[in-house]
């Protein structure tokens, strides 16, 4: 008696290997196209190098180029900030500042005496 069941784990493994092959093809293809542009020279060389670089970045990040470009743009446009009080405090000062107020309530008197 044969049963027809759906093997979801096997399907996930096949999809995962397909995604890995596609990423590897993009990376290797991008390197190949960029190298061909560098070796060829001429008017078409910059187009091949940029196209190869774009294909390489797409393979490495596995994200659309527009999304990667917007992330880089946001990263470049960010304002530089100092981590601890605009650069006026060191790590010990910052730890002290972050621990205030202490989690324990203040003592009310000697042990056993009210």
Per-residue 3-state assignment (H helix, E strand, C coil) for 14-65: HHHHHHHHHHHHHHHHHHHHHHHHHHHCCCCHHHHHHHHHHHHHHHHHCCCH
8 A C-beta contact, residue 68 and residue 57: yes
6-11 mean pLDDT? 86
Q: Does pLDDT of 80 surpass 80?
A: no
Please, are residues 58 and 31 in contact by the beta-carbon 8 Å criterion?
no
Instruction: Determine the average pLDDT of the residues in 6-22.
Output: 90
pTM: 0.59
First to last CA, the chain: 83
User: Of residues 71 and 81, which shows the higher confidence score?
Assistant: 71
**Mean pLDDT of all residues in 4-32:** 91
Q: Based on the number of CB atoms within 10 Å of its own CB, is 80 exposed (0-12), middle (13-18) or buried (19 or more)?
A: exposed
């Amino acid at each position: 008696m044969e049963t027809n069941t759906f093997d979801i784990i096997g399907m996930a493994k096949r999809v995962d290997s397909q995604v890995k092959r596609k990423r590897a093809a993009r990376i290797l293809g991008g390197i190949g196209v960029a190298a061909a542009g560098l070796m060829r020279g001429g008017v078409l060389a910059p187009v091949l190098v940029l196209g190869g670089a774009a294909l390489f970045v797409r393979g490495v990040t596995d994200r659309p180029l527009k999304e990667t470009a917007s992330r880089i743009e946001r990263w470049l446009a960010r304002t530089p900030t100092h981590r601890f009080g605009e650069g006026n405090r060191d790590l010990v000062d910052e730890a002290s500042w972050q621990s205030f107020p202490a989690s324990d309530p203040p003592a009310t008197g000697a042990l056993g005496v009210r």
